[in-house]
A and B are shown apart, each in its own frame.
Chain A
Amino acid sequence: EDQVTQSPEALRLQEGESSSLNCSYTVSGLRGLFWYRQDPGKGPEFLFTLYSAGEEKEKERLKATLTKKESFLHITAPKPEDSATYLCAVQRMTTDSWGKLQFGAGTQVVVTP
């Protein structure tokens, strides 16, 4: 069964203090790995898709990387507006067309001024 484990569960950062979030996964054949941002009481918002080991993507202060067993979301010089829960999800390579996602529990990030 596919498994996605995110760590840490919660992270408190000072503004400007860079850090990384981890998403470890077990899946038989990875089709894609997705990162979402979720603000309290709202739906997740898409950030990145990574397809193969070694791939990297960046958006403002966020950078996502992928290896064969895990993905990292690096937050460089965070600002208070980066406070959110970050969700990771994996999609298995399957013969059916439906492509179900398996989500991790998320990492809650709080950035203080």
Chain B
Amino acid sequence: DGGITQSPKYLFRKEGQNVTLSCEQNLNHDAMYWYRQDPGQGLRLIYYSQIVNDFQKGDIAEGYSVSREKKESFPLTVTSAQKNPTAFYLCASSFRNLGQLHPSGANVLTFGAGSRLTVL
């Protein structure tokens, strides 16, 4: 079945450590995204990528880094510069940029199951 796989599901980080969250999709989607979810807040965009070897900052990119070396993969690194990294991280993908309609008429985000990062 096609979908998005995020790993690990739970991750603990010590102060000063960098950690990397994995995101792999087999949907043949061009665009991929990372969101952060905190209690009582809407999903906030960290980074997005429209094509391989290209990515753009979202609303809260400080303290995070990404790479897009393969169409299927979009890993997120949470660096020690991120002051409050404890959160639920969601990876998503879409057929193309959300501004472009899918031939079916709907171009929507498909999400992974998420990774919960806790700072010790």
Contact = CB atoms under 8 A, between A and B. Distances in A.
Interface of A: 4, 9, 31, 34, 36, 41-46, 49, 87, 89, 91, 94, 96-106
A99 B45 contact: no
B2 interface: no
A104 B113 contact: no
Contact of A103 (B4, B42, B50, B97): B42
B74 to A, nearest CB: 14
19 contacts: A34-B109, A41-B113, A41-B116, A42-B113, A43-B4, A44-B43, A89-B43, A91-B99, A97-B99, A97-B100, A98-B56, A98-B98, A99-B100, A100-B58, A101-B45, A101-B109, A103-B43, A105-B40, A105-B42
A45 B113 CA distance: 10
Contacts, number: 67
B112 A43 contact: yes
A58 to B, nearest CB: 15
- SS class, residues of chain B in contact with chain A: loop
Interface of B: 4, 6, 40-45, 48, 50, 56, 58, 90, 92, 97-100, 106-114, 116
A44 B99 contact: no
B111 A106 contact: no
Given A42-B114, A104-B42, A99 B98 contact: yes
Given A43-B112, A45-B111, A49-B106, A96 B99 contact: yes
B93 to A, nearest CB: 11
A30 to B, nearest CB: 13
Contacts of B98: 91, 98-101
Contacts of A45: 111
Given A97-B100, A102-B42, 17 more contacts: A9-B40, A41-B116, A43-B114, A44-B109, A44-B111, A46-B110, A49-B106, A87-B43, A89-B43, A97-B99, A98-B97, A99-B99, A100-B98, A103-B43, A103-B44, A105-B40, A106-B42
A102 B43 CA distance: 8
Contacts of B44: 103
Given A4-B42, A34-B108, A99 B97 contact: yes
